Amino acid sequence: MRLIYMDHNATTPMDPRVLEAMLPYMTEHFGNASSVSHPFGLDAADAVNRAREQVAAVLGCSVEEVLFTSGATESDNTAIKGVAWSAAKPGGHIITTRIEHRAVLESCRFLERQGFRITFVGTDAEGIVDPDDVKKAMTPDTILVSVMHANSEIGTIQPVEAIGAIAREAGVAFHVDATQTFGRSPWTLPRSGRTSSLSPGTRSTAPRAWGGST
């Protein structure tokens, strides 16, 4: 029996072009990109910098804003907990939705046990978050809004541009889990008012254990 794989929202096979581009850095150019005191490390560092420039061009952000991680889960944790722990007021307020990925929900529940207040905004019958609900949930202590761009199970696209504008107007950090839409749906960081976003390689035909955060 021939099997047909149809769950590319979970993971994707590596694109042959990606494999071709990566192979030299798994064999010939194997240096540590952080060791720039010798040619091997410099070659690897140059490759990482070129990749960062390419990602920045897709997202419409500066090269300095692109951070590579091991995947979406690390990016979610880094963004959410990083904003929370760097807030001027400990124990602040965070707004997210009930249909976020587990990496976001568990990060928020962890922070809730640390004393942060979490508001889980609901959706309508089609799984869409109403930006007005986010606005109503805002308080003077709100430090972060986290809303996914697209849901991996029901496919809804959230109005992140409108929600980002609300967060920006309130001076609140805005985190977007763009796991399902990076490379598939055209968008840029400035247009959506995002202050943090992420994308994993497993959903975009890249190698495993690769992710990004901005």
Confidence of residue 129 (pLDDT cuts 50, 70, 90): very high
If asked whether residues 23 and 81 sit together in one domain, one would say no
Structural domain includes residue 6: no
What range does the domain containing 167 cover? 65-213
Q: Tokens 């609900």 correspond to what residue?
A: 133
207, pLDDT greater than 80: no
If asked whether residues 91 and 167 sit together in one domain, one would say yes
140, pLDDT greater than 70: yes
Write the single-letter amino acid at 122.
G
Q: What is the pLDDT of residue 192?
A: 56
Sign of CA dihedral 101, 103, 106, 111: negative
5, pLDDT greater than 70: yes
Q: Using CA atoms, how far apart are residues 77 and 102, in angstroms rounded to an integer?
A: 11
132, pLDDT greater than 70: yes
193, pLDDT greater than 70: no
Q: Using CA atoms, how far apart are residues 207 and 68, in angstroms rounded to an integer?
A: 13
Number of domains within the chain: 2
Q: What 8-state DSSP symbol labels residue 69? A: E
Region 29-37: mean pLDDT is 89
* b/e per residue 163-198 (b: at least 16 CB within 10 A): bbbbbbebebbbbbbbbbbbeeeebebeebbbbbbb
Q: Tokens 């992420």 correspond to what residue?
A: 198
If asked whether residues 21 and 110 sit together in one domain, one would say no
If asked whether residues 100 and 142 sit together in one domain, one would say yes
169 touches 134 (CB < 8 A)? no
